[in-house]
Amino acid sequence: MSLFSRIYQKVIVSIDLYEKTCKIRISNNKNTQQEEKIYKTINANFPIEAAKYIQKIQNQYPHTYTSAMIRTENQGLLNGKNIDVFDKFGLDINSLKIMLVNKQWFIYVGKKNLQEYKNKFSKINGLDFVFSPFIIIYEKIKDRLDSAKKLYILQEKGSTSLLIADRDNIYFGNHIVFEQDSFVDENKEDKKKNDDMIEFDVIDEIDENIIIKDFDKGSYDLSSNSLSELSIANHMIELITKTLNNFYQDNRYASDFIDELLILDGYGISDNAISYLKNNTMLE
């Protein structure tokens, strides 16, 4: 490749950092090349071998951008376009990084949690893009939405993100991490709000070139196949039941009946596990 081509080629480094593994995907702006490497990790720390590999790419291609989906506690989604909705849910807006999406719903993450996550990548001078799992779900499903409210689940190795939506709006979102085969709701802590003014970012249009192509969400397919462990299905049944009960019983939500769920499978869920989910949740 010529020096001229290297200078002007955009390269995207997508990082999936889990408790025991780190997957690096390299793609260019023409989507003609893609390279993938997997490294072992300890306690979800970014491995030095992965950092050295990315530094090599950065030195080779000046227009290299790094991205990752944030997998951390204290993040969520709220329906509404007025910042006062955070008061209704007892959330301290001054401790959160908040973004308004499509002038209809908010995504948020704790400022401290976000900074701690970014610090994991200090060996490569941080990240250019940090994505919310709710944006990933929304970008995958937005063209499939209809008049029926449905539950969408992004299942990954160490976390589950849930979103309830129809074509008109997003109504509910929750992110749960599980450790040692137990789900832990990271949004349980009571939070207090003061009356200080708060600024938040606004997203009117999501850049699909960044989110879809560059982040390479192709591995998240609406799927009903390929995970061998029914224990994950048991966790999901408990989680789905709890989510739906909260949605139906909490008058803060516009809780119409939900009779269908779709799984964005980042882990691989077997046919047996899907059947098990259907039989135990009575959802299609």
Query: Over the stretch 100-128, which tens digit does the pLDDT of each residue have?
Result: 999 999 999 999 999 999 999 999 989 99
Quote the CA–CA distance of 97 and 188 in Å, as a whole number: 18
Query: Which residue type sits at 150?
Result: K
Distance CA 89, CA 80 (A): 12
Residue 265: pLDDT band (50, 70, 90) is low
* pLDDT of 1 strictly over 60: no
> Which residue do the tokens 């023409």 mark?
30
- Tell how far CA 80 is from the center of its chain: 20
pLDDT digits (tens, 9 = 90+) for 247-260: 787 777 766 777 78
φ/ψ of residue 39, rounded to 5:
-125, 150
The candidate with the shortest Cα–Cα distance to 155, out of 282, 4, 273, is 273
First to last CA, the chain: 50
**138-158 pLDDT, tens per residue?**
988 999 899 888 889 887 877
pTM: 0.72
Q: Which two tokens stand for residue 66?
A: 């790094």
Higher-pLDDT residue of 224, 138: 138
Per-residue exposure over 265-276, b if at least 16 CB sit within 10 Å of its own CB, e if not: bbbbbbeebbeb
8 A C-beta contact, residue 233 and residue 277:
yes
CB-based contact 206:132 (threshold 8 Å):
no
Mean pLDDT score across all residues of the chain: 75
CA 78/CA 159 separation, integer angstroms: 19
**pLDDT at residue 182, as a whole number:** 41
Contact 94, 193 (CB under 8 A): yes
Mean pLDDT along residues 258-268? 69
Cα 119–Cα 219–Cα 110 angle in degrees, nearest 5: 30
Length of the chain: 284
What whole-number distance in Å separates Cα of residue 62 and Cα of residue 58?
6
Per-residue pLDDT, averaged over 45-64, amounts to 93
Question: Token digits for 241?
Answer: 């039941």
On whether the CB atoms of residues 64 and 9 are closer than 8 A, the answer is no
Contact 262, 155 (CB under 8 A): no
